[in-house]
Amino acid sequence: MLWLGFYFPQLPLSIFAGEQAVPLAVTRREKGRDLIDRCNDLAQAQGIHAGMPLNTALSLLSSLQVRERDRAREQQQLEALAGWAWQYSSRISFDPLLMLLEVGASLKLFGGFSSLLERMQQEQPAAADLQHWALAPSPSAAALLARYRPKTRITDPGQLPGQLADIPLQRLTRRRQVLELVQGIGLASIGDCLQLPRPELARRAEPEFVLLLDRLLGRVPDPRPLWQPPEVFEQRLLLLHEIGQAGALLFPARRLVESLCGFLRGRDGVAQRLQWQFLHRDAPPTLLAQGMLAPGREVEYMLEIFRQSLERLSLPEAVVEMVLRVDDWQAFQEQAGDLFDSGAGAQDNSFLERLRARMGSEAVQGIQVHPDHRPEHAWRYCEPLEKAGSGQAVSVSHGHQPIWLLPKPQSLPVRRGRPCYRGELRLQVFSQRIESGWWDDADVARDYYRASNPAGQQLWIYRDRRSGKWFLQGFFD
């Protein structure tokens, strides 16, 4: 086996997103005091550093943005990255701030380790930084090297002792009792422990410590719980600054969309409906349903539709957190084209997508024929570009029916026994007889005619065979 470990030292900071870069620090609680755990470059430029008491840091920089470290959100972000990495390996495990992938079975598929790593770094989500990596035969070694000796590449287990020798024991374990035991006999590094005979080391230290070394070197199995991707994508993003304008939500939304597209690629799927929630402090969440004409997994495509949707979104108050959920993704299907298809005839749906996002899906719909002899029931609204099912009749139209039909048949007056519309009508051709609709309480019995009036208009009229009344149904061109 070969394990690829990725270490994300800035993850406690990166889970907080804002509109602009500001001095930011994440704190931890230690011995009853709040200490700076990590801070960004802007805070470091003002003299803030890890381990500094929070009160001291605020006295140096009163505008410092402070957030308490949120390990639950860190784990959620790691799992979001794992959803993206699932396309490269189906064996994924975690350590604190670490993601581990078993890639030995994937190297041949991706053309070797160098090609695999280059592809992952090119396609990595914006929220990820894959620069701190290490390759080793055991997951413990990959995790340790990714933390303290990044970009180390070891494929032979025999090379592990030499690469790990000078790493201090404090990097391997934090158990105070174990450290006191081994340091009491003059051992300070992993190499010092490996030089002792194993029975002597087992006698002087705890058996768990010896087992830890054996797992590190790959001498014994290192069982780890393997992560399984969820069936539903849901990710939250806590905003560093409250956002009061809907258009400003586009910037933080990119991170969520990138995570979604990574999840879809990892599962070899596509999505057509996205469900957004914008959380406020004192108001119910604002909901936004984002639908697309065709399922996809491209970041820019989804963000463009989202941007158009924001133009008609009204926020009751500022947004403090965003949630993106997709629970009906579907398997990706490669479209098979004609052998001689140059792509010039491919239909561009971007205009329809933007129009629906701007005006609402109800305002932009398609029309599809419906198998019914009654003209007013022979069509239905549908999604734009939706194709009729294989078992559905394409049309029930006849050549003697006009294209222009009235929304509702219009009653015609009768003079001297003739129907009138801007004058008396002259019946030209008997068109057809329709008797239908007994099954849905809209039964009709009609005789249709083509008629003309004194102005030369060509009309499509019918006589109700039960009441004897005349009605105008449509016009011929």
* Average confidence (pLDDT) over 297-310: 88
Main-chain dihedrals φ then ψ at residue 36, nearest 5 degrees: -75, 120
Is pLDDT at 294 greater than 70 in this prediction?
A: yes
* Average confidence (pLDDT) over 327-331: 86
Is pLDDT at 349 greater than 80 in this prediction?
A: no
Separation of alpha carbons 466 and 50, rounded Å: 90
Is pLDDT at 335 greater than 70 in this prediction?
A: no
Per-residue pLDDT, 26: 94
Is pLDDT at 189 greater than 80 in this prediction?
A: yes
In the chain, the percentage of residues whose pLDDT exceeds 90 is 39
| Best mean pLDDT range from 180-184, 301-305, 349-353 | 301-305
* Average confidence (pLDDT) over 182-199: 81
User: Which residue would you say has higher pLDDT here, 142 or 407?
Assistant: 142
Q: Give the model's confidence band at 343: pLDDT under 50 very low, under 70 low, under 90 confident, else very high.
A: very low
The answer, as to whether pTM is greater than 0.75, is no
Q: Which residues of 432-451 are buried (b: 16+ CB within 10 A; e: fewer)?
A: eebeeeeeeeeebbbebbbb
Per-residue pLDDT, 152: 94
Is pLDDT at 24 greater than 70 in this prediction?
A: yes
Q: Give the model's confidence band at 389: pLDDT under 50 very low, under 70 low, under 90 confident, else very high.
A: low
* Average confidence (pLDDT) over 189-216: 82
Is pLDDT at 394 greater than 60 in this prediction?
A: no
* Average confidence (pLDDT) over 39-63: 93
User: Which residue would you say has higher pLDDT here, 222 or 20?
Assistant: 222
Per-residue pLDDT, 369: 74
Q: Which three-class secondary structure string do you get for the chain?
A: CCEEEEECCCHHHHCEECCCCCCEEEEEEECCEEEEEEECHHHHHCCCCCCCEHHHHHHHCCCCEEEECCHHHHHHHHHHHHHHHCCCCCCEEEECCEEEEECCCCCCCCCCHHHHHHHHHHHCCCCCCCCCEEEECCHHHHHHHHHHCCCEECCCHHHHHHHHCCCEHHHHCCCHHHHHHHHHCCCCEHHHHHHCCHHHHHHHCCHHHHHHHHHHCCCCCCCCCCCCCCCCEEEEEEEEEEECCHHHHHHHHHHHHHHHHHHHHHCCEEEEEEEEEEECCCCCCEEEEEEEEEEECCHHHHHHHHHHHHCCCCCCCCEEEEEEEECCCEECCCCCCCCCCCCCCCCCCHHHHHHHHHHCCCCCCEEEECCCCCHHHCEEEECCCCCCCCCCCCCCCCCCCCCEEEEEEEEECEECCEEECCCECEEEEEEEEEEECHHHCCCEEEEEEEEECCCCCEEEEEEECCCCCEEEEEECC
Q: What digits encode the pLDDT tens for the residues 216-236?
A: 998 899 889 999 888 889 988
Q: Give the model's confidence band at 285: pLDDT under 50 very low, under 70 low, under 90 confident, else very high.
A: very high
| Best mean pLDDT range from 14-23, 52-61, 197-206, 328-337 | 52-61
In the chain, the percentage of residues whose pLDDT exceeds 70 is 88
Is pLDDT at 89 greater than 60 in this prediction?
A: yes
Q: What digits encode the pLDDT tens for the residues 429-451?
A: 888 888 888 788 788 899 999 99
Is pLDDT at 338 greater than 70 in this prediction?
A: no
Is pLDDT at 191 greater than 80 in this prediction?
A: yes
Q: Give the model's confidence band at 340: pLDDT under 50 very low, under 70 low, under 90 confident, else very high.
A: very low
Per-residue pLDDT, 391: 44
Is pLDDT at 201 greater than 80 in this prediction?
A: no
Per-residue pLDDT, 442: 80
